[in-house]
Amino acid sequence: MGRFHNSSSGEGEETTIDISPLIDCVFILLIFFIVTTTFVEESGMKVDKPQAAQAVAVEESKTLTFYLTANGQVLCEGQKIGLSGIQTLVKAKLRTDDDAPVVIQADATAHTAMLTRVIDEARLAGAKTVNIAAKQTKG
């Protein structure tokens, strides 16, 4: 393969096709795609989520995620919003997608009373689904 018989000269010489430029081009494209690939990382604040045996993955693009830190701060998209900002953000999200789930990523050491208040604020704003993020236990 890759060899053609040159019938015009009649001498029986064989011509070959040099594929090294093709290989160079393939490697350049490979490098381009590796460099431009973005890696999906969990956005937002780093919290130590509690473990649960029945944790399932949720598509992040359709959710509204709140973060509850160990010291009781409520954050959304990297900004401190407090309890008073939850209803406003949930109502705004529900205007564009009325079935958008709310996910709360609470630190494992966060107070239960604060977590309950965050859930209540989301429900009062009209959220139909409020989930608590957890790490799935192996076993």
Q: Say how far residue 49 (Cα) sits from the centre of its chain.
A: 17
Q: Which residues contact 56 (CB under 8 A, 6 or more apart)?
A: 136
SS3 129: coil
Domain boundaries, the chain: 3-36, 51-136
Give, for all 139 residues of the chain, the pLDDT tens digit: 555 555 555 566 788 888 999 999 999 999 988 888 876 555 555 555 555 555 555 555 678 888 888 888 888 887 888 888 888 888 888 888 878 888 888 888 888 888 889 889 888 988 888 888 776 666 5
Q: Which residues contact 52 (CB under 8 A, 6 or more apart)?
A: 134, 135, 136, 137
Question: Given this model, what pLDDT does residue 132 score?
Answer: 82
Give the fold, CATH level 3, of 51-136. Nucleotidyltransferase; domain 5 (3.30.420)
Return the closest-CA partner of residue 119 out of 104, 135, 99, 98. 104
Question: Given this model, what pLDDT does residue 23 score?
Answer: 93
pTM for the full predicted model? 0.55
Write the CA distances from 82 to 27, 53, 66, 75, 127, integer angstroms: 50, 30, 10, 7, 18
